Amino acid sequence: MASSFTLRPSRAKRENIRRRILVTGAAGRIGSFFAETFQERYELRLMVREGDPVDAIEGMGEIVTCDLSDLDGLKRACEGIDTVVHLAAQPHPAATWQQLLEPNIVGTYHLFAAAKSANCRRVIFASSIHAVSGYSKDVQVKTSDPANPGDLYGVSKVFGEALARYMAEQEGLSSIAVRIGAFQTLERARQYWSVSMMDAFVSREDLMQLFERCIEVERVQFAIVHGLSNNRFKRLDLSTTRQVVGYEPKDDLTKENPQLAPLNLSGAVQTHSMQDGGESGLREEIGL
């Protein structure tokens, strides 16, 4: 089975210098919360489009205006940057090819090319669960499983993942693709309707932890990682993500949703192993 990540030789330990991070799509839901979370930890350059509201990110970093169609502008935005967190995109799963082509295909290429030109250390590409949503609902998808997009939006994210691997392994630009699930607050997870996303939920806090791990991990040259919380039922497998970047999600929608929390699914659903308190034939046999 093909690996979904590649490592590089260990480097000398990095001095404790504040990283400079470029965030594209900084005015969006994820970008603005990233800025709020990491404004003290990192030196942020927050990229928005002309006309985007910036009130929510004022004072959290250097705000620059640039469009993904502007390769020269993106090169300037990437100057002096350690890591790019690339969130800007057409985000709607029902988008048409024409709506996706410029921002998600051409724009993604421009961003990676600009990061390479500026000698950035890494690009973190915001992929999506839609890159593999074509699998049936009873399949838990591993990072090593072939891409299987469920819509054209997912197709555009598969393109970004392939470009990220090319840039990492052929052009030397470390790249990590994060397949983001249903990004919501804990307050929204506590709404009755949230049961529909119980296998795909990722809390704001868990996704920020994953982004931080992706920024800080040193040995990864390329990886696809899965961005879900520690839900009792997970559409995407987290084992490789835990192993490669050290991700340890804390939240679980089945504990937050008022319809599911009383069921105590984490404890009530059997693991079909010794964890359920069954007798051990081995221990009985050797007298333990």
Burial class (CB in 10 A: 0-12, 13-18, 19+), 43: middle
The C-alpha atoms of residue 3 and residue 1 are separated, in whole angstroms, by 6
Tokens of residue 175, six digits: 């790249």
The CA R_g of the chain, rounded to the nearest whole Å, is 20
Which residue carries 């920024």 as its tokens? 215
Name the amino acid, one letter, at 260. L
Residue 239 has which token pair?
């084992």
**Is residue 166 annotated as part of the catalytic site, yes or no?**
no
**Which residue of the set 42, 109, 135, 153 is catalytic?**
153
Tokens of 167: 């840039």
**Max CA pair span of the chain:** 73
**What amino acid positions are annotated as catalytic residues?**
153
